[in-house]
Structure 1
Amino acid sequence: MLNAEHLNIKSKIGSDKEYLFIGCNLLIVAFISGSELWLRTRQQYHKQIVVGCGYIISYLMYFLIEPFVDGAQMLLMMPIIVSLVYFDRKLLYSLGFFSVVFYAGIYFGLERVVLHKPLLEFLLVECVFIVFVIMTQAVISRAQEAQEHLEQLTKSEQGLMVERAISDKLLKIDALTGLYNHKTFHEYLDLLLEQCESNGLRLQLALLDIDNFKRVNDTYGHWVGDLVLKEVATKLGGMIGLNDFAARYGGEEFAIIFTDKTLPEAYSYVEELRMSIASMGHPYAGGKPITVSVGLCNYEPGLGKELMFRRTDDALYKAKKEGKNTVVTAQASQGEACLLNIV
């Protein structure tokens, strides 16, 4: 049978030392509970609390176990592991240096004097400290490299998303006026017309044409003409509703799609817009007012895109013919009425 001499036990706890053993365990529980309470209730000094608690607990456990178990010094590596939690290289070096120095003080002040431990054991433990710091530093370096690589990938992906968004915007937006372009206008209109036919969505189309725009270009130059287009577009984009859609249809012509409005409401919008444009000042164009003529058409179920455009364009032509700077609402011609009846 095995006896106590064959076991790797140096001594046993005497009845007079039990209070020290219990006290150390109570201190460990108290420090862990206090640290947990601090971390949950306070927002400051989290790293310092974790590091300090790690040091105190590791050395308390070391003093509890060391008299009975060889190699208990490995518990003293616990504080260094904290640096892995934060991936902090500076913290690692600080903890490593402090551990080496602190253990040296414990060895020469306690273990060598009281426990008569050999110097070789001290040197081995210090070497383990240094090797552990080097290994931990390698882990932190690889983790930081992986993090940097991930950040680069994230930035590259974000850059691609931004470039894609910009490209998509450039494909949809007119470069001069900032409104939607001709192609995007028709794509949006097609979708809305489907909603009109299937869900009864109310829709009106307005075509606006700047009056005497060729004269502006010929008299003051094309750069003045571009300024006029920009100002009219800005006014137009600022006055329409959130559910409406404005585009530069081509040249000096603009288009507005009104949704979920009655024809009188849409007419009120374009009339207010017409008067607002007419009241704008243009000092670079001789101070003369710039006006627009407007054709407005209300969509009716079964009308179709082609007939709606024909009505709107006829209304715009009528507005031009009747003296410009006016709004004309489209009316169905007899030929269109016959065509709709056939359909």
Structure 2
Amino acid sequence: MLNSGVWHRRILNVYWTLAGIILAGQILSVRLHLKLAHEFAVSDVSRTLIVICYVVVLCCLITGEVWLRAKLKYQQQAVVVCGFIVSYLLYFIAEPFVDGAQMSLMMPLMASLIYFNRRLLFVIGGLNSLIYAAIYFMLERGLLGKALLDFLLMEVIFGGFVVMGLGIIVRSRETSEYLEQLTQSEQGLLVDRAIADKLLKIDALTGLYNHKTFHEYLDTLLEQCETNGLRLQLALLDIDNFKQVNDTYGHWIGDIVLKEVAAKISEKISLNDFAARYGGEEFAIIFTDKSPAEAFTLVEELRLAIASMEHHYAGDKPITISIGLCSYYTRSGKELLFRKTDDALYLAKRSGKNQVIICEEKKPA
């Protein structure tokens, strides 16, 4: 049960509190010579029995405390048994002086409701009816002269409480099942929404982010560059002679090449970097919080890794990429960053391919 240890502690605290209240009430009654429903005149034997009851109550509560603090097994059963014994002892103590003391016998039933334990509710309800019947016919009817109607009324109350408690337990389980179904439904909606959101952001073929998401992310990072001085480099990558691959081996081989290149890009970049399929055979990488030299080292390693990949399905011919790399400077703007990076990529393609070209390091005036 959720937080069962907390509820064990709370229930035991209630027993301690009730025992303390009844003891304090009796001490106060003796001192002030008050009358509580009867003349407060008890024999020495009665006083001895009351003292014995209090000693047993104290021992029972201490046993419950030790059981909980030692974290022994069957703590729920220990708390219920302790409460059952304490409730009957408190009933014996209060019954000669307080009308309606039978209500203390309801405590174990209420504990079974706190635990939402149907079996415990039936067991406690049955024991209450049997033990109270024995007490009435053996003690109360002869010694206290209680009417049979009082006994029958208490038995009806015990039975009615069990029936109502059963309804509460059943209703709580129905509510729990409903909440569980509702939670599962909400989780399903969240998963569906997450999948839909991912499909909107991810390129279906390569698994990298798509063109739209790339620009959204870049706009956000450029704002950070302007306000917080974030360092940023943009790399544009293009697969060399990709049209020839498609024309020679077919578009499905071209798709395999795109997937393998994308996988190598994902493998090489760090968690702080962002890669996307920019369009066709072109990819884009945003490097954040890196120096230009670090960004160059990463793209150069990526270029060499892709060039060394084997492609048996494409005649074992190497697949290479050309890369343009450019750093962003504050107040230069997104358009200038793209133009310079694209010019560097174009120069890499025109001057032999399979190389990295860094754009001109020209800061805005």
Q: TM-score, normalised by structure 1?
A: 0.86
Q: Tell me the CA shift for residue 7 of structure 1.
A: 8.3
The range that moved more, 116-125 or 282-291, is 116-125
Bigger mean CA offset, 11-20 vs 79-88: 11-20
Q: Distance between the aligned counterparts of 1:43 and 1:297, measured in 2?
A: 67
Are the counterparts in 2 of residues 205 and 296 from structure 1 also a CA contact under 8 Å? yes
Q: Structure 1 residues 23-32 or 272-281, which shifts more?
A: 23-32
1:191 corresponds to 2:191: no
Alpha-carbon offset, residue 239 of structure 1 = 0.9
1:111-166 superposed Cα distances (whole Å, 9 cap, x missing partner): 56766756554433322211111112222233333333333333333333333322
Is 1:329 equivalent to 2:358 in the alignment?
yes
List per-residue Cα deviations over 1:172-203 (Å, max 9, x = no partner): 22122121111111111122222323333222
Q: String of CA shifts for 1:301-343, please: whole Å, max 9, x gaps.
A: 33222122112112112211222211111227xxx99xx55xx
CA distance in structure 2 between the aligned counterparts of 1:74 and 1:156, rounded to whole angstroms: 44
Query: Pick from 36, 45, 49: which aligns with 1:20?
Result: 49
2:183 counterpart of 1:168: no
What is the deviation of 1:26?
A: 2.4
Equivalent position SS for 1:83: helix
Task: List alignment gaps of at least 5 residues for structure 1.
Answer: 1-5
Cα-to-partner distance string for 1:35-61 (whole Å, 9 max, x where unaligned): 234324415322111110111011111
Q: CA deviation at 1:285?
A: 2.3
SS at structure 2 position matched to 1:93 = helix
Larger deviation: 271-280 or 136-145? 136-145
* Whole-angstrom CA distance in 2 between matches of 1:81 and 1:199: 61
1:154 is the counterpart of 2:207: no
1:238 maps to 267
* Residue 70 to residue 311, structure 1, CA distance change in 2 (3 Å): closer
C-alpha contact 2:214 2:276 (8 A) present in aligned 1: yes
* 2:344 counterpart of 1:303: no
Q: Given residue 267 of structure 2, which amino acid in structure 1 is its aligned partner? A: G
Aligned to 1:270: 299
The Cα shift of 1:248 comes to: 0.8
1:211: how far off? Answer: 1.4
CA distance in 1, matches of 2:304, 2:188: 44
The separation in 2 between residues aligned to 1:134 and 1:13, in whole angstroms, is 38
Q: CA RMSD in A?
A: 2.6
Deviations 1:185-232 (A, max 9, x none): 111112222232333322211111111222222232222222221111
Aligned-partner SS, 1:255: strand
Between 265-274 and 278-287, the greater mean CA deviation after superposition: 278-287
**1:144 and 2:183 aligned:** no
CA distance in 2, matches of 1:102, 1:7: 25
Is 1:48 aligned with 2:80? no
Q: Does 1:100 align with 2:129?
A: yes
CA 1:321–1:75: 2 relative to 1, 3 Å? same
Q: Structure 2 CA distance, aligned partners of 1:45 and 1:65?
A: 30
CA distance in 2, matches of 1:74, 1:304: 80
The residue type equivalent to 2:57 in the other structure is I
Distance apart, 1:168 and its partner CA: 2.3
Rounded Cα–Cα distance in structure 2 between residues aligned with 1:16 and 1:134: 39
Q: 1:81 to 1:198 in 2, by over 3 A?
A: closer
* Aligned counterpart in structure 2 of residue 207 of structure 1, from 220, 229, 236: 236
Percent identity of paired positions between Structure 1 and Structure 2: 61
1:39 maps to 2:68: yes
> Which stretch of structure 1 is more off in the superposition, 320-329 or 193-202?
193-202
Match of 1:3 in 2: none
Displacement after TM superposition at 1:71 (Å): 4.3
Task: Name the CA distance, whole Å, in 2 between partners of 1:213 and 1:121.
Answer: 97
**C-alpha separation between the residues in 2 aligned to 1:116 and 1:283?**
103
CA gap of 1:72–1:261, structure 2 versus 1, over 3 A, is closer
Paired position in structure 2 for 1:84: 113
Amino acid at match of 1:79: P
Specify the code of the residue in structure 2 equivalent to 1:289. Answer: P
Please give the secondary structure, in 2, of the residue aligned with 1:247. Answer: strand
Whole-Å separation in 1 of the counterparts to 2:168 and 2:69: 29
